[in-house]
Structures are given as C-alpha cells and as structure tokens.
C-alpha cells in the first residue's frame, strides 16, 4: 500500500507565527505524526490538532519536526515527534525585537526546499517568517496580498533557478521567477535597500540595473546563514550568532 494511502487522519497545524493550515492528510501514531508535504513549514513548538471520529479533539505539541527530503516513491515531508498537550499552552507570536518588526517576508519561487530551509533559519534565530501562500487569501489578488502582508520589518529574496531566459539571439540562462524580481523591487521601495537582502542560488541571473543591493550566495555549506545574521544585525536586529550556525 502506498504510504500516502495510510494518511487517514485530517489535522490542523497551528504555527507559532499565528499561521494555520487546515485539512492536512496525516497519520497520527502515539507520539509521532506523519505528514507527506513539503509546501508548508512546521517547527518545534507548533501545534497539531486532530479531530476525532467521536467529535473530540486531540492537541499535540511538535517536539521535533523531523523534516526529510524524500526517498524513492516517498515524497518529502515530516516525521514529527510530538507530545499531547493539555490545551493550556498556545503558540506564542514574537511581537517585537528591540523595537523592530520581527516579521521577515520571504520572497520565493518554486524551490520549496530553499524556502523551507530559510524559514526554519529565521525561526531559529527568533524571528517570524512570512510566506505569502501560507496567508489567508480573503478574496484578495496577489498584489493585494503582498500589500496586506507586507507590513514586515525585513525581506529576504530567494533567487533560485526556476525559469530560463535570455536576450534575443543569446543562449538561455537560469533565471528566477518573474514574481521574485517584481517583489524584490517592491520591498526595496517599501522598506529601503538596507532592509532587503537577496540569496542567490547557483548562477542565477540577477537584475543588473539596481546598484547597492546586497546579494548573498546560497551555498551548500550554509555560510549564508552567518551572512544573513550579520545583515539583520546591521539593520538593528539582535541576533545570537551562535544560533546562526
């Protein structure tokens, strides 16, 4: 039987950032919960709620999200270690950071692993990642959602090779999605260049007509984490560099 067919439970994930994901297929097994999705972020301290067949509700706190990248026919997802909660503890949203807005907007393309890795790091250093598709639409258009959820203190832009393109007559090269370039410019205008950083994966083309913009190599060794932490410090955030390693 395919593993996906064993996901007979339906759960609601309640994130410490205040975001929620509902009706997610899962398998709840004592102190473990399996969710085979990579398009949502789940961290230690988040909560998972399962509605029972008798109408009751079980609430679990995530101890270890256990994210895996997938193997063979098994897609990427979570094998979480959890513990039952008495319902008294609720996810806590970070509301301030030395007077700075703790919400960090993540601009991304189709590279889910890069997006989730960055979001985990942002939470690891005590800030709140904002991923647009995780926010409620409320009948808003995309640009209206960006305007609505763009009330953040900082933005990090992921330039990942999701598209290809070139000048007429030249060889195609890897490019970021068009929305990434657009949102990069939007947040520079909204927040100022000092509060926007771009992470660039591989040889992805970047805009050549914007001077003074910070680009950081999204390297496999993870050195980018220290670079991001330093940029956040420069912008006025207090970041424990030991947590950035």
70 and 173 in a single domain? The answer is no
Using one digit for the tens of pLDDT, what is the confidence trace for 141-154? 788 888 887 889 99
End residue of a domain, out of 32, 51, 84: 84
Does some domain include residue 157? yes
Number of folded domains that form the chain? 2
Does some domain include residue 61? yes
Average pLDDT of span 100-124: 90
User: Is 188 a residue whose pLDDT tops 90?
Assistant: yes
End residue of a domain, out of 52, 84, 116: 84
Average the pLDDT over each of 39-43, 81-85, 225-229 and give the range with the smallest value: 39-43
Q: What is the pLDDT of residue 230?
A: 92
51 and 135 in a single domain? The answer is no
User: Is 101 a residue whose pLDDT tops 50?
Assistant: yes
70 and 153 in a single domain? The answer is no
Using one digit for the tens of pLDDT, what is the confidence trace for 18-44? 778 888 999 999 899 999 888 888 888
119 and 13 in a single domain? The answer is no
177 and 222 in a single domain? The answer is yes
138 and 227 in a single domain? The answer is yes
Does some domain include residue 218? yes
Does some domain include residue 92? no
77 and 124 in a single domain? The answer is no
161 and 202 in a single domain? The answer is yes
User: Is 90 a residue whose pLDDT tops 90?
Assistant: no
Does some domain include residue 239? yes
8 and 59 in a single domain? The answer is yes
Q: What is the pLDDT of residue 95?
A: 62
Q: What is the pLDDT of residue 145?
A: 82
Does some domain include residue 98? no
75 and 112 in a single domain? The answer is no
Range(s) of the domain holding residue 26: 3-84
List, in order, residues 6 or more apart from 112 with CB less than 8 Å away. Answer: 38, 39, 76
Average pLDDT of span 63-71: 81
80 and 168 in a single domain? The answer is no
User: Is 48 a residue whose pLDDT tops 90?
Assistant: yes
9 and 64 in a single domain? The answer is yes
* Beta bridge partner(s), residue 175: 163, 205
Does some domain include residue 89? no
Q: What is the pLDDT of residue 85?
A: 84
């Amino acid at each position: 039987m395919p593993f996906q067919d064993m996901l007979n439970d339906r759960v609601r994930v309640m994130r410490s950032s205040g975001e929620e994901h509902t009706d997610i297929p899962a398998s709840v097994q004592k102190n473990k919960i399996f969710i085979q999705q990579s398009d949502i972020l789940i961290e230690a301290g988040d909560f998972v709620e399962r509605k029972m067949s008798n109408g009751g509700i079980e609430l679990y706190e995530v101890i270890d999200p256990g994210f895996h990248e997938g193997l063979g026919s098994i897609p990427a997802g979570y094998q979480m270690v959890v513990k039952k909660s008495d319902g008294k503890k609720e996810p806590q949203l970070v509301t301030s950071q030395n007077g700075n807005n703790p919400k960090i907007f993540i601009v991304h393309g189709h590279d889910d692993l890069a997006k989730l890795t960055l979001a985990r790091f942002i939470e690891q250093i005590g800030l709140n990642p904002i991923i647009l598709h995780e926010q409620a639409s409320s009948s808003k258009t995309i640009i209206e959602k960006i305007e609505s959820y763009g009330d953040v203190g900082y933005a990090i832009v992921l330039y990942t090779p999701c598209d290809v393109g070139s000048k007429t007559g030249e060889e195609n090269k890897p490019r970021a999605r068009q929305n990434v370039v657009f949102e990069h410019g939007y947040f520079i205008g909204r927040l100022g260049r000092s509060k926007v950083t771009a992470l660039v994966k591989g040889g992805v083309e970047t805009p050549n007509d914007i001077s003074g913009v910070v680009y950081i190599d999204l390297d496999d060794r993870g050195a980018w984490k220290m670079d991001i932490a330093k940029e956040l410090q420069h912008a006025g955030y207090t970041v424990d560099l030991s947590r950035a390693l």
